[in-house]
Amino acid sequence: MKTLLIIDVQNDFMPSGSLPVPDGDKIVPIINAMQPKFDLVVASQDWHPQDHISFASNHQGKAIFDEIELHGKPQTLWPDHCVQGTKGADFHPDLHTTQWEAIFRKGTDREIDSYSGFYDNGHLKSTGLAGYLREKGVSQLYLCGLAADICVYFSTHDAFKEGFACFFVEDASQPLDVEGFITLKKKMDYLGIQIISSADIQ
């Protein structure tokens, strides 16, 4: 079953949001146009409590984009974003959601961040996404969304490790750090993750 996983296309990651991804809004019509080509469409949604440990506002004396150590791993401190129940956590209003069969929320545990749609950053808790996809008989998984170098990258990496044939849809994604993403694309290519355009999808 050919499946599309849409990662975190939410208001706070748009140019007017609290954690803007450059040109993040440009991917919305591309994602809308390709959804009918898939047998199954699912999405992930960043869904943080207000006191989330990844927010710089919850660390006295720290600034946005400072890096700390958390559970033995580096943790970037972000501006408050995608707080549960806020407009910033909503999906972009022009994004078509009627074809979606499921939404998997992540980042709900205040004590640990969760970039991937499959696991938190410590791989301590699963969102249940991998099991859901297997139950549905998914073989090919196409991934897109925001931000390409963070949540989409980590979701793609986890999907690959879970044994899915992975395709990263580049024009339906945008990175926060354009230069840094060049290196990550090389890593994906090395693993055998195919980097494609939405026009390549039949």
Catalytic residue among 144, 151, 158, 166: 151
Backbone angles phi, psi at 70, to 5 degrees: -140, 120
Q: Is 2 a catalytic residue?
A: no
Q: Is 8 a catalytic residue?
A: yes
Catalytic residue among 8, 46, 120, 158: 8
In angstroms, rounded to a whole number, what is the distance separating the alpha carbons of residues 113 and 122? 8
Backbone angles phi, psi at 43, to 5 degrees: -140, 160
User: Cβ(154)–Cβ(123) under 8 Å?
Assistant: no
152: left (phi over 0), alpha (psi -120 to 50) or beta: alpha
Nearest to 95 by CA among 46, 156, 26: 26
Q: Is 151 a catalytic residue?
A: yes
Catalytic residue among 46, 82, 106, 144: 106
The catalytic residues are 8, 106, 151
